[in-house]
A and B are shown apart, each in its own frame.
Chain A
Amino acid sequence: MVKDQEYLENKASYCLDLAKKLGATEASINVGSSISETVNFRNKKLDESNRSDNLGVDITTYIGKKKSSISSSNLLQDNLNILIEKCIETTKNTPEDEFNALPDKDLLAQEIKELNIYDDTHIENDDKIKYLSILENSASGDKRIINTESSFTEDKSNFILANSDGFCKGFKTSSFVASSVAVAKDDKSMERDYEYTLKCHLDDIKSAEELGKVAAENTIRKLSPKKIGSEKIPIIFDKRIAKGILSTFASAISSSAISRGTSFLKDMIGKKIFSDTINIFDKPDIIKGLGSQSFDSEGVKTETLKLVEQGILKHYLIDTYNGKKLNLKSNGRSGGTSNLYFDNGKIALKDLLNSNSKSLYITETIGHGSNIITGDYSVGATGFLVENGEFKYPINEITIAGNFRDMFQNITLANDLEFQYSTNSPTVMIEGMVVAGK
């Protein structure tokens, strides 16, 4: 069992009291506990079981405008005493920073919203094994599938965030994840692909049969890929990678990148950075949402932000420190976004695929090719050539490149938004990008 609220609160208040006693003018403590149990299958047989029992504390102490922090997984009192003493000592020796502060009291969350993000159901390993058996049978039906690896993880977490301004709150979360990775082979190639399902509630995950079937289909259709020539061609991003575009956008509007001047979206509030039809939301109170939360990692209450309205940037993602630096109030985004999504598009996927006589449908990218300072983007990609709305053949060993400034202005969204992750996008088409191949 994860540690209960009372245990975590006791640890947090012990740390808080000791920090103050040793000379901290302010302090903030996060105590967390999580238990995760995983079962892995490979080629229809049990491969691995893994139980993970985690406990941890993060302590930040302030002496005036000086600040330092420690973290530890050892919550024995002796160790906490040594660490807090060390933290205070380090704080004294760390130079002042005028922007160091706890969040403004009036911004702190007053309540924990009922978001239904915890499911107490415990699923025994034997039941995980049953699910995985069905999954792997479903995934390995085709003789071209030569290897399957699947896993089922149940995760439960609990935490308390406490600070010296009297804030002391936390909540439990749970997740159930099943995934399947298949390898397929023919005489020309060997390919790998996957499918997974992730939900707060056990009842909401996809059926084992469906998951295995999709993983196998995704893999088989990649066999015998071709390399195409270098050209400018419309790129269509599958939903599972289109969300990456939103993640890059979120990093570029984080108050830390803005205040440091290291973002291509600095000074763009009120300016049109996307095409007219684009709206982007960050909504923390979606029931059962994978990114749902009542407050951010500093305890500041989070409310829905319409980050982009008709293409115009309306907000940065602001925490306390960088907010003070930018002379803006925190909007509860310390630690990033909650449930971030593009508002649904207007056209059907079928029509999007048909909107050009030739386009490239990308299902996976590799490499770390997003530069948020310059907006430059260049990554390796695999996918399919689409002609007149039809998938023609798989494509491999190419790169796609462009600059986000231009890419954002040339986005068209399909109307197939679903909430499968904490960041969600419908299928995205971007025109004007360059493919490098042969």
Chain B
Amino acid sequence: MYYQLFMSNFFEKSDLSRNEAENIISDTLKKCDDGELYLENSKSESILLDDNKIKNSSYNSDLGFGFRAVSGEIIAYSHSNEISKNSLRQSSNNLKSTLKSAKGNYNHSIPKSNKKYYENINPIEQKSLKNKVEILNEVNKYLRSKDRSVKQVTANFSGEQKSIEIIRSGGETLTDIRPLVRFNVSVMLEKNGRKETGVFGVGGRQSYDAYLKEDNWKNVCDEALRIASVNLESKPAPAGEMKVVLGPGWPAILIHEAVGHGLEGDFNRKKTSAFHNLMGEKVASEGVTIIDDGTLDNRRGSLTIDDEGTPTEKTVLIENGILKNFMQDRLNARLMKTKSTGSGRRENFRHIVLPRMRNTMMLSGKQTQEEMIKSVDKGIFAVSFGGGQVDITSGKFVFNCTEAYEIINGKIGSPIKGATLIGDGPSILKEVSMVGNDMMLDPGIGTCGKAGQGVPVGVAQPSILINKMTVGGTKL
């Protein structure tokens, strides 16, 4: 078959044949509503320069299966590293014992698509170790020669190729090969006894060279250095409620935390999300449209098929302020009587599928960033963020600024120290009073954590003005 030319053949070195596996799968799932055998073979590397030296060069190869049976609301899951007759039978028994009284009808339908959003490449093999080490050493030299206050440089390459195969009851098979790379630089400056850092990186589902061709790595270094230099001059951040202008791109973690998680199907089926009873209601200012898109070419959050085999799509979550859709995997879609949006994801074969974000984006509006800043008497302008977190139930979310400035009388003032911003998810988007015309994608470095599972995601947004948010500084 076609896929075997490229795919890992999971049964090649096993005492278990594909045919036998298919029989065990069909037998185990016969009275279930859904389920599958998920096989995964991933190879990953990490090469780290730190403190003037190559600190680490490591390689990981991971192989295993996860066997899932679903009946009603109940999920039975079992996984193992050993792809063998014995191991799969043991898993099957385990699933059957949980779902003793299953009386479902297996749903065989799964949409098909021929579209692919990245190439079948192994980025690890496309660049020699020697070449990666050379670049990291050059990064170190470049940064230390550029500014004498550079006291520490950390840079790393991480790359991965993940092959997956999904075998459903009846033997239907879906496959995908997913490349992923990331290049990161962190720099620490010390001046007059003060230390500050700046971090920047790039990445996505292409070869390293797609991001680093010619001297592109210098741009990454320059940006990390610029952020660190700004922070060296920063003064304590203010404390209290004020207007906040967010820059375009990566600050869209606001969207991810404030509304993204709350629109995932599981929390809404369980009615534990602050958004569960707001479908069709106005949840954001007019002009605010938010989508979650798995179909952008080569983006970190993109997937050809999700981890249940459903092709991904562009899902409109909020259209012109109105809540339109939740993000769904198969289980939550079935229980909520809707269709999967291709959002079923898992970190690896050790984990169950959950509805997750892919690339979450707020689309452009009409205003300019300049207009926004001009309109603010007292507030902050936040350009770069570390990360965020949300309490789905209360709707409260935070994110941490890593580059921000005060705004006084319509003008950008001094940089301020890193501070946490806190807001309320269901109401924050109603406080958006201007949407910029400058939508930008993030540089491709985001990882989202949920229920102990990390998956690569993307975000995007234009500049926005938020009327009122609490800034967690120390200056009263």
Interface residues in chain A, defined as those with a beta carbon under 8 Å from any beta carbon in chain B = 42, 45-56, 68-76, 78-79, 83, 86-87, 90-91, 93-95, 97, 125, 146-147, 149, 183, 189-192, 225, 227, 229-232, 259-262, 364, 366-369, 371, 373-374, 376, 378-380, 382, 396-403, 434-438
Contact = CB atoms under 8 A, between A and B. Distances in A.
Given A53-B79, A379-B472, A397 B73 contact: no
Contacts of B188: 261-262, 373
20 contacts: A47-B75, A56-B81, A70-B58, A79-B61, A79-B63, A90-B57, A90-B59, A93-B129, A190-B272, A230-B239, A262-B195, A366-B390, A366-B396, A379-B472, A380-B422, A401-B472, A434-B473, A436-B470, A437-B241, A438-B240
A397 B197 contact: no
A83 B61 contact: yes
Given A87-B59, A94-B57, A366 B391 contact: yes
Nearest to A400: B472
Give the dominant DSSP class at B's interface: strand
Contacts of B62: 72-74
Contacts of B417: 374, 376
Nearest to A60: B58
Interface stretch (B47-55, B111-119, B308-316, B456-464): B47-55
Nearest to A77: B13
Given A366-B397, A402-B474, 9 more contacts: A50-B352, A68-B57, A72-B62, A79-B63, A94-B54, A192-B391, A368-B389, A378-B418, A400-B472
A367 B471 CA distance: 13
Contacts of B419: 378, 399, 401
B394 A189 contact: yes
Contacts of A261: 151-152, 188, 190, 195
Contact of A70 (B60, B98, B270): B60
B423 A48 contact: no
A261 B271 CA distance: 47
A402 B417 CA distance: 12
Interface in B356-396: 386-394, 396
B476 A53 contact: no
Nearest to B417: A376
A398 B240 CA distance: 9
A230 B240 CA distance: 6
- Dominant secondary structure at the A interface: strand
A399 B472 contact: yes
A84 to B, nearest CB: 11
B350 A52 contact: yes
Contact of B81 (A69, A75, A225): A75
B208 interface: no
Interface of B: 13, 50-51, 53-64, 73-82, 87, 91, 94-95, 97-98, 129-130, 133, 137, 151-152, 188, 190, 194-197, 237, 239-241, 270-272, 274, 350, 352, 386-394, 396-400, 417-424, 470-476
Which 6 residue pairs are nearest across A and B when measured between Cβ atoms? A399-B472, A436-B239, A380-B398, A367-B398, A192-B393, A49-B98
A436 B394 contact: no
Contacts of B50: 260
B473 A367 contact: no
B239 A147 contact: no
A366 B130 CA distance: 41
Nearest to B50: A260
B344 to A, nearest CB: 15
Contacts of B197: 262, 373
A73 B91 contact: no
Given A50-B352, A54-B350, A368 B400 contact: yes
Nearest to A87: B59
A407 to B, nearest CB: 11
A231 B476 CA distance: 7
A401 B240 contact: no
A435 B239 contact: yes
Contacts of B60: 70-72
Nearest to A124: B97
A200 to B, nearest CB: 21
Nearest to A374: B195
B13 A93 contact: no
A382 B396 contact: yes
Given A125-B97, A147-B270, A378 B400 contact: yes
B147 to A, nearest CB: 16
Given A72-B61, A369-B420, A397-B422, A232 B476 contact: yes
B259 to A, nearest CB: 16
Contacts of A382: 391, 394, 396
A397 B98 contact: no
Nearest to B394: A191
A87 B59 CA distance: 8
Given A183-B272, A368-B389, A380-B472, A396 B394 contact: yes
A376 B473 CA distance: 10
Nearest to B350: A52
A86 to B, nearest CB: 6
Query: Could you say which of B13, B76, B393 has the most chain A C-beta atoms within 10 Å of its C-beta?
Result: B393
B73 A47 contact: yes
B389 A74 contact: no
B428 to A, nearest CB: 11
B274 A190 contact: yes
B394 A399 contact: no
Residue among B62, B240, B350, B387 facing the most chain A CB atoms (10 A cut-off): B240
Contacts of A48: 74-77, 352
Contacts of A192: 272, 391-394
A62 to B, nearest CB: 12
Contact of B74 (A47, A56, A71, A94): A47
Nearest to A259: B51
Contacts of B53: 95, 97
A49 B151 CA distance: 50
A12 to B, nearest CB: 17
Given A434-B474, A437-B240, A68 B393 contact: no
Contacts of A368: 386-387, 389, 400
Nearest to B194: A374
B473 A436 contact: yes
A93 B131 CA distance: 10
A367 B13 contact: no
Nearest to B14: A76
A380 B420 contact: yes
A261 B476 CA distance: 31
A232 B473 CA distance: 11
A192 B271 CA distance: 12
Contacts of A401: 237, 239, 419-420, 472-474
B472 A378 contact: yes
Nearest to A321: B55
